[in-house]
Amino acid sequence: MSSTHIRLYNSDGSERDGIFNISTEESLECPFCFSQIEIQPLRGVAWPDNSLQLFLKCKKCKNCFIGYLKQDGSIYRIKSLSKGNNKSTSFNDVINSTSSMFVQIYGESEFAEQNNLKQICGVGYRKALEFLIKDYLIKKSPAQEADIKKKLLGDCIKDLIDNPKIKEISKRATWLGNDETHYFKKWEGRDLNDLKKLIEITVHFISMELEADNYMEEMKDG
């Protein structure tokens, strides 16, 4: 924890100066470059409810943003930071070429989540999963493309996926994805982070299988 002397203003614009104990115990991530940051307060506003808004600067990328603080005894703790850049997951060339729509929908879902649209981002992740699975199956069996497109996701996984790891992990990702679209939540002990983790594992297994297929095709015996 550090005691920081800053120039502070009241919400009515009048100047207020003093020493404020600002907690630096929490791990803070710059909303622009996503690196772990040190607090560098420049100016601030004190509100009647004893909250503070500090003008902060990242020492790495030099971008500035707002920190929202609440008083906890004699300490002010940062509760949240203002919006910066959206953080999106990068996928390898195999996934990008197999399902560009998966990559796009997943990125839009991350945008929704990072903008606190928590009631709709899960639906987006579920849609991204469906595009990933169906595009993977179409790549494996292009002659079945028309049937794959019309088939329910659960049936695609059950009937068409041979790889047992992809089958079982994507099935569980679908369970949690369906929970995000339904009124009644079946998997109460699981949340959005579990859904994203299962999609991540599914992506990993699909990527490994397709990369292996490419090498076996390019490096045949004899």
Give the domain ranges of the chain: 2-81, 93-218
In angstroms, the CA 59 to CA 48 distance is 30
Q: Which residues contact 54 (CB under 8 A, 6 or more apart)?
A: 6, 22, 41, 42, 43, 44, 66, 67, 69, 78
Q: Which residues contact 201 (CB under 8 A, 6 or more apart)?
A: 169, 173
End-to-end CA distance of the chain: 67
| pTM for the structure as a whole | 0.77
- Residue 172 CB: number of other CB atoms within 10 A? 18
SS3 100: helix
pLDDT for res 51:
86
Sign, CA torsion 120/201/131/32: positive
pLDDT for res 203:
98
- Here the tokens at position 54 are 């500090």
- Here the tokens at position 121 are 């981002």
Q: Which residues contact 78 (CB under 8 A, 6 or more apart)?
A: 22, 23, 26, 28, 39, 54, 67, 68, 69
- Here the tokens at position 60 are 């790495």
Residue type, 22: I
In angstroms, the CA 197 to CA 192 distance is 9
- Here the tokens at position 64 are 């500035």
- Here the tokens at position 108 are 């839009």
pLDDT tens for the 222 residues of the chain, in order: 455 566 778 888 888 766 667 765 566 889 999 988 776 777 888 888 878 898 888 888 889 999 898 888 878 888 888 988 888 999 999 999 999 999 999 999 999 999 989 999 999 999 999 999 999 999 999 999 999 999 999 999 999 999 999 999 999 999 999 999 999 999 999 999 999 999 999 999 999 999 999 999 999 876
pLDDT for res 70:
87
Beta strand spans in the chain (E): 2-10, 15-22, 41-46, 52-57, 64-72, 75-81
